[in-house]
Structure 1
Amino acid sequence: MELFHLSVDSIFKPCQSSEESLNKNSSAKYDEVFCLFDGDRPEYKQAIMDAHRYSVYKIKPILSIPCFEFWFLLHYRYTSSPFENYKQVIAQLNKEFNKVGIEDYDKSKSGYYGLLKPQLDQAIANAKKLEGAACTNPLTQVHDIVIYLQAQKILAVNFFSNSQ
């Protein structure tokens, strides 16, 4: 399966034109924009530097090094051991999956959210622990998006339950 990759400018330039539109139309607003950068692509470092040019648009770069699947691994165990590449992460992830009766990881399959959700709190705790250890490989900030979305859900539930 071949994935396509976008340049940072192709991702963020629309934000620039959206921001110009926001100045004209104050009813269209956004609170946060998250952009996940997967460390298994060599150009991710340049993409992060380029992303900072667009920080005025409330874009928060989210890193996952060496790859997004490291976030999945944190659902099962903490590790600060460095990984050279995606394949090393997948080998460890598959070991954890197999321990609990889950088939080997396949990037083209869906349904992982339901499998991982019961361990979400553990993944967040492991990611925070890793963050506290100031590791750069491995690293994930995916928990930042998850925590943000959980807070938004609580706000929405409270808003709708108080408005009735």
Structure 2
Amino acid sequence: MAKCRIKTGFNFREPPTKEDYDRVLIVCEGKTEVNYFKELIGYLKLSTVNIEILDIKQTTPDSLFNRAKELYRASKKQGNPFDRVYCVFDKDGHAKYQQTKNHIDQVTPKNTYYYAFSEPCFEFWLLLHFVKTDKPFSNFDDLKKDKKFKQYFPNYDKSENIFNNLQDKVSIACQNAKHNPHTNVDELIDYLKQIK
């Protein structure tokens, strides 16, 4: 005997819808960044149709930017272009780091491509959720040895979702990053906060 299904009129799994604000692509070079921004988008209650976050598995800032341009052109060809494209990358000793930042500043169309950088690594941005510092670290291993980093991230794992521990401190991180020469991730966060 077949089971009878009762229609309730409720769709419990409604797909996300495109909202009346900018369509943004955020491309990242690592899992930590992707996890952080996906959780941030949920925390800010932004539509995942408007904001796409991708780990495109490119290991250098220039290859990340080249892939971002390809994705932008594809979105434009499909008739649904991104209003802004952000490349999130670290310095991490990359030879073309500064060259890529300069290229993004000069590329057309203007006001489409942006970068959110951290020196030496994204974990510097995470540390700013707890302390204000402009201490120059040479690489991730150098940062990991820092007393403050060990205090706030004693068992840090790059693949771990840590945003829940940071969400109440995002505004602190943005404030601590103002005028900091080692990151501008706060500019992307500020943009996302005001997008709605």
**What TM-score does the superposition give when structure 1 sets the normalisation length?**
0.69
1:40 aligns with 2:97: no
1:4-153 superposed matches below 5 A: 4-5=58-59, 7=63, 8-19=65-76, 21=77, 25=79, 28-42=80-94, 43-52=96-105, 54-56=107-109, 58-92=112-146, 94-97=149-152, 103-110=154-161, 112-130=162-180, 135=181, 139-152=182-195
Distance in 1 (CA, whole Å) between partners of 2:151 and 2:189 is 22
Gaps of 5+ in 1: 156-164
| Structure whose residues are more often helix by fraction | 1
Structure with bigger gyration radius: 2
Q: Secondary structure at the match of 1:34?
A: strand
Identity %, equivalent residues: 28
The Cα RMSD (Å) is 2.7
Deviation at 1:11, TM superposition (A): 2.7
2:72–2:85 contact (8 Å) kept in structure 1: no
Distance in 2 (CA, whole Å) between partners of 1:55 and 1:66 is 27
2:177–2:186 contact (8 Å) kept in structure 1: yes
Q: Secondary structure at the match of 2:136?
A: coil
Distance in 2 (CA, whole Å) between partners of 1:67 and 1:38 is 5
Structure 1 runs, 4 residues or longer, greater than 4 Å off: none
Q: Deviations over 1:47-70 (max 9, x none)?
A: 223334534160111111111110
Deviation at 1:71, TM superposition (A): 0.5
1:48–1:61 contact (8 Å) kept in structure 2: yes
Q: How many residues align?
A: 136
Gaps of 5+ in 2: 1-29, 31-56
Aligned partner of 1:162 in structure 2 is: none
Q: Do the aligned partners of residues 124 and 86 (structure 1) sit closer, same or farther apart at CA in structure 2, a change above 3 Å counting?
A: same
